[in-house]
Structure 1
Amino acid sequence: MTDLDAETEFLGEWGRFQQQTFFLLCLTVIPNAFTALSIVFVADTPPHRCLVPAHVNLSAAWRNSSIPLEEDSHGGGPRPSRCSRYRLGDIRNFSDGGLLPGVDVNLSTVATEGCVDGWEYDRTTYDSTISSEWNLVCDEGWKKPMSSSVVFCGYLLGALVSGQVADRFGRKIVLVVSIGAHSVFATILAFSSSWTMFCVIYFIVALAHTSRTGSAFVLGTEILSTRVRKIFSTVGGNMFFCVGYMLLPLAAFFIRGWRMLLLALALPSFLLLTLWWCVTESPRWLLSQGRAEEAEAIVRDAAKKNQIEPPAVIFGPSHNECKPERRKAHNICDLLRTRNIRWISLTLWVIWNTLTVAYYALSLNTSNVHGNKYLNCFLSAAVEIPAYILSWIMFRWCSRRRSLFSTLFMGGLFLLLTLLVPANLVHVAVALEMMGKFAVTTAFSIMYAYTVEVYPTVLRNTALGACSMASRIGSIVAPYAIYLRSYSISLPYILIGSLTVLSGLLSLLLPESNGMPLPDTITHMQDFPGCCKKTPYKLTQTEENEPAAEGKCPVVS
């Protein structure tokens, strides 16, 4: 076995090469918040009512009374109906006869009809959204959560494909190609001419988004040293995501039309294409493919940037003698091949699923929370900053399993406590929801870094993609979890809170990876269920002799 961290230790922890890699890969994370969360503003439904055409000759009193009142399912007393109106033929006859509504005519006896002439929308908050432009309301209301679910379907397919492609062709090329595809189709999205076209293009944008995110995350994890790797995988990339998240409501506040908003969010992404000349391929991946000369050239260039004289020999002779064609090709099926990796994978997929449902449901719900939509979205983003800082502290000094359990359990508990808050204490309920978002975000950040630690190099990108893919089933459901508000405000909190608490308990079965070296092969993985005692893997006599006996590439930890 060769320890890549030990062989490249002469580069130092935080030289120019590491700084450049760290910050450039973190920059790729800023647009990530725009892909899924811009739908909060792009597809929001402004207050609306049935349109009474201007050419219909009605008195002012009858025009104001043409919309029936109905009970608000969220409380607050009667409000004008959003999906029906009194039959205009009858209203016109009453108006022409000089009768007054509520005085000469009992409106409860007047027949109603649907919004056959369309709707009129309140333009106070938005100039336009896809809901107001394509009338995604009333009988067509199911299309609004479907618009969000389409994004997560794209995430699912992207997670299925991108991990295996990156493990086969390299992290860097997949990263740059997906950045280009994401930028192009995100721009086209702003010119959608119909809801169907919008969903198709949005699906492609989400697919490219997943490829970019996974490749950037794994590339940084494999290039950076152990200490910096922990910062990158918890605080680094997530902080930049939070920056993008906070920029979203600011952009939406000043740009009230959905087309111009999407265009403003998409165009800056083209600048990220310059990463092709600024970021290197992963030496760890190159070594795993038997391309030792390319890996050594990258390390020597890194030493030059750090103004460090590299040793005459960086990688041993066994690297140069390896025959990559003799290596076994791995794919997503290997995540279920043996009992140990199968149980680890299934457990992680369930927890990822729950985390994604909770995170996106709470994020997409900001437009429904009491108060200003833009401020609520900004607060939802702001609470993630201390969450990411806490995740880094816990990831550096605490047990992985205990960190996951505590954050998941507390997140679910906060959400369930909102059910006990009286209706008049709105701000208390909002505070509890934000605390739940804080805990869920902390768990999500830890989960990403933990997944990279527990899987081996030969399957790391594939495994991260598979976990992301499994979680997208939950993210597809997340918009409909919010849609349950139309039946009862409590239902989303009961569902999400209960699932999060149960997932916290399930996380106690996972193996402990704190302080362990990154495994390279499946046999080096920790056992399921894990234990708090850390037992670093050791090569067997057979493994030690494999490279010399069979001409195989040495394993890299």
Structure 2
Amino acid sequence: MAKPRGDGGLVDVPMGEDEAHGVARAVAGGAPLEVEEVLTAIGEGYTLRAGPFQRRLLLFMGLFLWTGLAFHLMSLVFILDPTNVDSAAVHFHMTPVQIGLIGSAIFLGWAGGAPLWTWLADRNGRRKVMFGAILVAELLNVVACVAPSFPVYAFMFLCMGACTGGGGAVVYCMLVELSPPALRGPVTSLLNFFWVYASILIACVAWAVPHWQVLQLICSLPGFAALAFYRWVPESPRYLAVVGRTDEAMAVLRRIAADNGRPMPAGELKKPSASGPTGNPLDLLAPSIRVWSLALFFCWGAASMVYYGLSFQAGDMGGDVHANAIMLALVEAPSYLAVMWGVERLGRRLSMIVCFAEAGVCLLVIFLGAQDGFKTAMAVGGKFGISAAFVVVYVYAGELFPTSVRAVGLGACNIASRLGSVISPVVVRALPPTTASLIFGLVGVTAAGLTFLLPETKGRKTTDYVVTASARGEGVGGAGGVELLAAGDGEDAAVDMRPIGELNGLDHGGGDGDGDGDEGG
């Protein structure tokens, strides 16, 4: 059942029996149909079992699109390895700072490209824009393989980052909009495990194929292979309904129903609302939520900075870089499972404090000095903590921000996250490994401390938070600031389904499905 979600969209929770029967009665009665109601009826959303169409869609998105995105990011550890004579770092005679700048370039491009591509997807359709971004990204990657100089090579990565970031955001949106509401959380969470799979696979490929040009071309194979499925992947029925193309939306829904072997409900499709009230970014700094906003911005930046910092430090841990990368990737799977338990049993705040503190302490131990084996163990422990923290920050942002500033709040968090990921590669390459570990450790511990400033949100409905203009003219933004009011038990906030362009990007894939953020992590 669709409930208000922290990013201004929907949170996906299983429907109770009464709710399920209520939707079924509305569908059977021929009342105007919501897209989500039809997807629930034809996608086995009542039972939390994905239909054949949703299973195939998840496999396609994970094995081709999410794997391709992970390849481009995680292959940088090997393509830019200065100890490998066949690496791009040696080929272009890169200095340590230049090596770091390549990593920063792809994340900087991501920060600028994600809003652009999602804006295009809101206006021209999800499918065309998603495949277009993938095609351009892979072509740029091929051009980068024959770049004549370091500046051209770096520029190609900047442009490629803009396309991969935007493509990743639209991939996430497509998966959400083609799944029943109750299944959106589980299927988007499973994308995290495809990221783990891809990180391990690219490390194995890099071990077998050390030459940077061949390895970089291999990274484009999943994306190019995905283009063969263009006709199979349908347009988002929600997008089609929003723009008034309800006949086409119904055709897509009929196809999904046929694939799943489910009867198509009778009735006309209702045109959904494209967006809700627009928040003023300055409202995030209003007195009532200023501390929360700033603390959460830092935590998002810290999660991204430390996550990618540890990933790019695989060659500085001692031992074989490929084995280190595989261990750092493997530990993410149990961390996702652990944090899914932790956020429900321990709460959001305590879970995030523990995750950031554990990662920070492990990295500070590395700075204090350790043998290679113990250093590797501490790095793996740090990756466990920061991968889990990446999940919690998505949940927290979705539940913490008041209704009218949820989307703009999540967008600001994504900007902070991108800033952290831009800084991270330069810190890794421009500073000694122990100094980089010190910085990452301090950032993690600081994020843990700032989390104490945040309220616990577990068990509190997002509709409990309402933003109103202050009649006293205090604060900043909007009509003089905002203040929080508790909604009555019987009040329900309207569901605010915003265009994905307003969500401002996607992270590495580390979310749990409760936020339309930026990935993973």
Please state which band the TM-score falls in when normalised by the shorter chain: 0.7 to 0.9
Using a 3 Å threshold, how does the CA distance of structure 1 residues 529 and 252 change in structure 2: closer, same or farther? farther
Give the C-alpha shift of residue 160 in structure 1.
3.7
Aligned counterparts of 2:462 and 2:249: Cα–Cα separation in 1: 20
Aligned to 1:36: 73
Verify the 8 A CA contact 1:409 1:501 in the aligned structure 2. Answer: yes
Q: Which structure ranks higher in relative contact order (CA pairs < 8 Å, sequence separation ≥ 6)? A: 2
Aligned residues: 442
**1:179 CA displacement:** 1.1
Q: Secondary structure at the match of 1:512?
A: coil
Asked if 1:210 is matched to 2:154, the reply is: no
Partner residue of 2:52?
16
Say what the alpha-carbon RMSD is for the aligned residues: 3.8
Could you tell me how far apart the structure 1 residues matched to 2:232 and 2:265 are? Answer: 24
Q: CA deviation at 1:133?
A: 1.8
1:257 Cα shift? 1.4
Note the alpha carbon deviations across 1:401-447, whole angstroms, 9 max, x for none: 44333322322222223344x54x33222211110111111222343
Is 2:389 aligned against 1:434?
A: no
1:177: which partner in 2? Answer: 132
Contact persistence 2:344–2:458 (CA under 8 A): no
8 Å Cα contact 1:159-1:468 kept in structure 2: no
Q: Which residue of 1 aligns with 2:311?
A: 363
2:457 aligns with one of 493, 508, 512: 512
Residues in 2 aligned to 1:344 and 1:405: alpha-carbon distance in whole angstroms = 15
Give me the whole-angstrom Cα distance separating, in 2, the residues matched to 1:291 and 1:457. Answer: 29
CA–CA separation in structure 2 for the residues paired with 1:517 and 1:171: 28
What are the Cα deviations for residues 498-520 of structure 1, in whole angstroms up to 9, with x where unaligned? 2222223434526737685899x
* Distance in 2 between residues matched to 1:404 and 1:127, nearest whole Å: 41
Shift of 1:18: 1.8
* Equivalent of 1:383 in 306, 326, 331: 331
The aligned runs of 1:393-432 (5 Å cut-off) are 393-394=341-342, 399-420=347-368, 422-423=369-370, 425-432=371-378
Of 129, 135, 142 in structure 1, the residue corresponding to residue 93 of structure 2 is 135
Letter in 1 for 2:311: S
Alignment partners' CA distance in 2, 1:31 and 1:444? 21
Give the Å deviation of 1:201. 0.8
Moved more, 446-455 or 430-439: 446-455
1:490 aligns with 2:460: no
For the residues of structure 1 that align with 2:406 and 2:136, how far apart are their CA atoms?
24
CA shift, 1:196, in A, is: 1.0
Q: CA deviation at 1:271?
A: 1.0
Deviation at 1:245, TM superposition (A): 0.7
Quote the offset at 1:471 in angstroms.
1.5
- Between the aligned partners of 1:522 and 1:295, the Cα distance in structure 2 is 34
Shift of 1:264: 1.8
Alignment of 1:174-253 (within 5 A): 174-234=129-189, 236-253=190-207
Equivalent position of 2:221 in the other structure:
267
- Report the alpha carbon displacement of residue 246 of structure 1 after superposing the two structures with TM: 0.8
Change (3 A) 1:22 1:354: same
| Separation (CA, whole Å) in 2 of partners of 1:497 and 1:457 | 34
Structure 1 range deviating more: 265-274 or 500-509: 500-509
Give me the whole-angstrom Cα distance separating, in 1, the residues matched to 2:131 and 2:409: 21
Residue 357 (structure 1) shift? 0.7
Deviations 1:152-194 (A, max 9, x none): 2111212342343334444333221111111111122111111
C-alpha contact (below 8 Å) 2:399/2:457 kept by paired residues: no
**CA contact under 8 A between 1:407 and 1:439: conserved in structure 2?**
yes
Larger mean CA deviation between 32-41 and 3-12 belongs to 3-12
Task: Supply the distance in 2 between the matched residues of 1:170 and 1:510 (Cα, whole angstroms).
Answer: 38
The correspondence for 2:100, drawn from 145, 165, 180, is: 145
How far the C-alpha of 1:343 sits from its partner, in A, is 7.0
Q: Which residue of 157, 170, 181 maps to 2:112?
A: 157
C-alpha separation in 1, matches of 2:345 and 2:253:
30
In the alignment, is the contact (CA less than 8 A) between 2:111 and 2:418 conserved in 1? Answer: yes
1:523-542 aligned within 5 A: 538-539=492-493
- Higher CA-based Rg: 1
**Percent sequence identity over matched residues?**
24
What letter corresponds to residue 92 of structure 2 in structure 1? W
Using the TM superposition, give the Cα deviation of residue 148 of structure 1 relative to its aligned residue in structure 2, in angstroms.
Answer: 1.6
Q: Secondary structure at the match of 1:371?
A: coil
Query: What amino acid sits opposite 1:410 in the alignment?
Result: E
Counterpart in the other structure of 2:507: none
TM-score, normalised to structure 1, is 0.69
1:555 maps to what in 2? none
Q: In structure 2, do the counterparts of structure 1 residues 179 and 457 end up closer, same or farther at CA, with 3 Å as the change threshold?
A: farther
2:445 counterpart letter in structure 1? V
Q: Contact 2:110 / 2:165 at 8 angstroms: preserved in 1? A: yes
What do residues 108-154 of structure 1 show as CA deviations (whole Å, max 9, x unaligned)? xxxxxxxxxxxxxxxxxx342222222224xxx42121222111211
Say which SS state the counterpart of residue 224 (structure 1) adopts: coil
CA deviations 1:325-347 (Å, max 9, x no partner) are xx7796xx744456478876655
Q: Provide the TM-score with structure 2 as the length reference.
A: 0.73
Could you tell me how far apart the structure 2 residues matched to 1:240 and 1:10 are? 28
